[in-house]
Amino acid sequence: MVDIELLRSWCLELPETKLDSSAQKEVYTVHQKTFAFIEQDHIHLKCSFDTYRKAIQHQDIIPAKGLSRYHWIAINDLDHLEIEVVHEFIINSYELIVNTLPKRIKKKLLQRLSHDIDSPWKDVLSVFFKEFMDFFYPDISDDIDWTKAPIFMDKELTRIAKESKTGNRYVDKLIKVFRKTGEETWVLLHIEVQGQKQDILPERMFLYSNRLTDMYNMLVASLAILADDNLNWRPSEYSVELWGSQKLFKFPVIKLLDYKDKWSELERSDNPFAVVVMAHLKMLETKKNHDQRLHWKIHLTQMLHGKGYTDNQVNALLKFIDWIMVLPRGLASKYKTSMTQIEEAKKMRYITSFELIGRKEGRQVGIEEGRKEGRKEGRKEGEVLGQISLLKKMKQMKMLAKDQYEQMMQPLKLKLQTIPKR
């Protein structure tokens, strides 16, 4: 169930949103224009004409009183609506209002909004691009010279991309790679973030590829990842024809739903994108069961710490999991508590292994020092010095994050100060 507190947080997270509240109503505005208001625990939102017509067919959505001619809706009951659907209504309402603002302000706000929506996908792609290619396109990956770092061409892509239209949720990335032959190649990567089919996808892939080729004289490999829940929607080509003249554009497509029957393989895989796919599949599967979503969100989070990823890699995956598997406020608090417990358990594992090995090394140092001085304090000091030495090694090997290292080092320094000097 979606709760009012979650709606409030979603509204306030949108760029430059302000809240004006009274005893009867909460009004959410952007640059003094209202995009949402909550009254008697019902949220009111603006829609496009087509969305409005479809929305009011739902039993829990009605035309907003006095605003129906402007295509505003009122959601009377949140219990029977999927959490992603309500979130999408809020974002679309915000976009519609932002599109009425002056061009400079509109461009700035839509860019910030787009970044907030797609940044988790872009983060995992930036951190795990090689792993992405290994996972989804192994044959192409084998042809890439990974000794030369890929270069992300964000500025070049911005030059050929039009401003996003209301309701579109996708991520485009342009990456320069080098083949083992030494040839420079560009990869145009497209991901349907919204999880709903977009009929314009093949045409957009075709136009982007053509524009890049025309502007930079560079052959582009266009790849698509489909995250929607329609098993039969698999666009892989675009064609136009006039009087016998035809242009045909084909591109390889990966359907995330196809991995549903490969769950055991995903769990065994050490590739970070196996976790990304699992999180996406469980998001689709648990749309109507948030308790199950909480269970899988915790399970996937725990799984991360057993894969040997670095802290940066874990953080990118955690951000993605948290973003895609959104929970109502109460369950989100339970997840946060579980996250804290997982982090504490991880620290304890480090501390336990550190103490066991450190004591062993420390005792040896202490024995040697004690033999020289013949005093008990030498053994104590040697044990602490051994633990400090091991702790520094663990940090160098990236087994500990900076905050964990400092947290564990502080009591050892204090303990060292209390040991009498010989």
pLDDT in tens, the chain (422 residues): 556 777 787 788 788 999 888 878 899 999 999 999 988 778 999 999 988 998 999 888 999 988 989 999 998 877 777 777 788 889 889 999 999 999 999 988 887 776 555 567 777 888 899 999 999 999 999 999 999 999 988 777 777 765 444 344 567 788 999 999 988 888 887 776 555 556 778 888 888 888 888 888 888 889 888 888 888 888 889 998 999 899 999 999 999 999 999 999 999 999 999 999 999 999 888 887 888 999 999 999 888 877 778 888 888 898 889 888 888 777 888 888 887 877 776 655 444 444 444 444 444 544 444 344 444 455 667 767 777 777 676 666 555 566 566 666 777 777 776 676 65
- What pLDDT sits at residue 76? 81
Task: Please identify which residue in the block is written with the tokens 């030369």.
Answer: 148
- Domain 4-98 sits in CATH at 3.90.1150.30
Q: Give the number of C-alpha atoms closer than 13 A to the C-alpha of residue 305, restricted to the C-beta side.
A: 17
- What pLDDT sits at residue 220? 87
Domain segments of the chain as ranges: 4-98, 103-327, 341-418
Helices 103-127, 129-136: inter-axial angle, 10-degree rounding: 70
Q: How far is residue 9 CA from its own chain's centroid?
A: 18
- What pLDDT sits at residue 192? 64
Number of residues assigned to the chain: 422
- What pLDDT sits at residue 265? 93
- What pLDDT sits at residue 295? 93
Whether 109 contacts 84, CB under 8 Å = no
Separation between Cα atoms, residue 117 and residue 95, nearest integer Å: 12
- What pLDDT sits at residue 369? 43
Instruction: Tell me the three-class secondary structure of the chain, residue by residue.
Output: CCCHHHHHHHHHHCCCEEEEECCCEEEEEECCEEEEEEECCEEEEECCHHHHHHHCCCCCEEECCCCHHHCEEEECCCCCCCHHHHHHHHHHHHHHHHCCCCHHHHHHHHHHHHHHHHHHHHHHHHHCHHHHHHHHCHHHHHCECCCCCCEECHHHHHHHCCCCCCCCCEEEEEEEEEECCCCEEEEEEEEECCCCCCCCHHHHHHHHHHHHHHHHCCCEEEEEEECCCCCCCCCCEEEEEECCEEEEEECCEEEHHHHHHHHHHHHHCCCHHHHHHHHHHHHHHCCCCHHHHHHHHHHHHHHHCCCCCCHHHHHHHHHHHHHHCCCCHHHHHHHHHHHHHHHHHHHHHHHHHHHHHHHHHHHHHHHHHHHHHCCHHHHHHHHHHHHHHHHHHHHHCCCCCHHHHHHHHHHHHHHHHHCCCC
Phi, psi of 397 (to 5 degrees): -85, 5
